[in-house]
Amino acid sequence: MKWARFLRGDNISYGIVENSGVIQQVSGDPFTAYSVTGVEYDLNEVKILAPVIPRMLYAAGPNYRGHVEGMANRRGSQPVYPIFPEPNFRSVHAIIGTEDNIVIPKDCSGTVQPEGQLGVVIGVDARNVKKDEALNYVFGYTIGNDISQRVWQGGDRTMFRGKNCDTFKPLGPWIVTDLNPNDFHITVRHNGEVWEDFYSKDQIWDTATWIEELSRYTTLHVGDVLWMGTQGADGDMFPGDVIEVEISDIGVLKNYVVAED
């Protein structure tokens, strides 16, 4: 199933997206309980929102060898591969939906950089979960774009403004259930040109391992989102640019880059 959260007039609802391009509105939400209302819209009649606002948004530390190498190359240093899975946190207030604007802060160096990410949405509270059962705790999969300001990221002590300014966390367009997290093909396109093209099977640690490791220390709660890392280290985006992250069997997360007023 394909679940979207959408705005129609002043109302926010969840809905089931059909291949025909129709969205079936539900009452409730897919994580706890819902019922189909019988109301349906064409996708172009509604505004698609980020499919969930998690209580916690986790971002895997380096999880593709090519990202470690690309970032080291940017810094002119040798790559240092991680030795165990460690997440960082992202601001849930920075989340925006597909088709929304990414705003470049006026006091930064003037550009931001994308990172296409597989998003894993937790469906059942998980604590001390073993790897071979970990995927039972997943509700479904979505797409993230971990917008970064590399100058701040490189020089600041924390990743607060380098990764977490308002609008820096595009998420969506929807959540798709019943997929295999090791089978995704991920593409990042900048103004239509392919910047990254990679496969989730090349993660240093797979999704199930991340859930096992995180849940040893923290309860993963329903609706929490884990981003599974990115490949490569992409170039600069300027106002006027369009950035898309596409994941096979999920869809396309598309955002526009603008300058802060």
Contact set with its own copies (CB under 8 A)? 55-56, 61, 82, 86-94, 105, 107, 127, 156-158, 160-161, 164-166, 214, 216-219, 221
Nearest to its own copies of 82, 187 (CB atom)? 82
Query: What number of other Cβ atoms are within 10 A of residue 101's Cβ?
Result: 14
- Print burial letters for 122-134: b (CB count within 10 Å at least 16), e (below 16): bbeebeebeeeeb
Nearest to its own copies of 61, 66 (CB atom)? 61
Looking up tokens 């059942």 gives 124
Task: State the Cα–Cα distance between residues 126 and 251, nearest whole angstrom.
Answer: 27
Nearest to its own copies of 81, 249 (CB atom)? 81
Q: How far is the CB of 160 from its own copies (least distance, A)?
A: 5
Nearest to its own copies of 27, 109 (CB atom)? 109
Nearest to its own copies of 139, 195 (CB atom)? 139
Q: How far is the CB of 200 from its own copies (least distance, A)?
A: 22
Which residue from 165, 163, 155, 152 is spatially nearest to 230, judged by alpha carbons?
Answer: 163
Q: How far is the CB of 241 from its own copies (least distance, A)?
A: 21
Q: How far is the CB of 18 from its own copies (least distance, A)?
A: 32
Q: How far is the CB of 64 from its own copies (least distance, A)?
A: 16
Task: State the Cα–Cα distance between residues 187 and 248, nearest whole angstrom.
Answer: 9
Q: How far is the CB of 246 from its own copies (least distance, A)?
A: 28
Nearest to its own copies of 2, 90 (CB atom)? 90
Q: C-alpha angle with apex 170: 169 to 175, nearest 5 degrees? A: 120
Q: How far is the CB of 250 from its own copies (least distance, A)?
A: 26
Nearest to its own copies of 120, 250 (CB atom)? 120
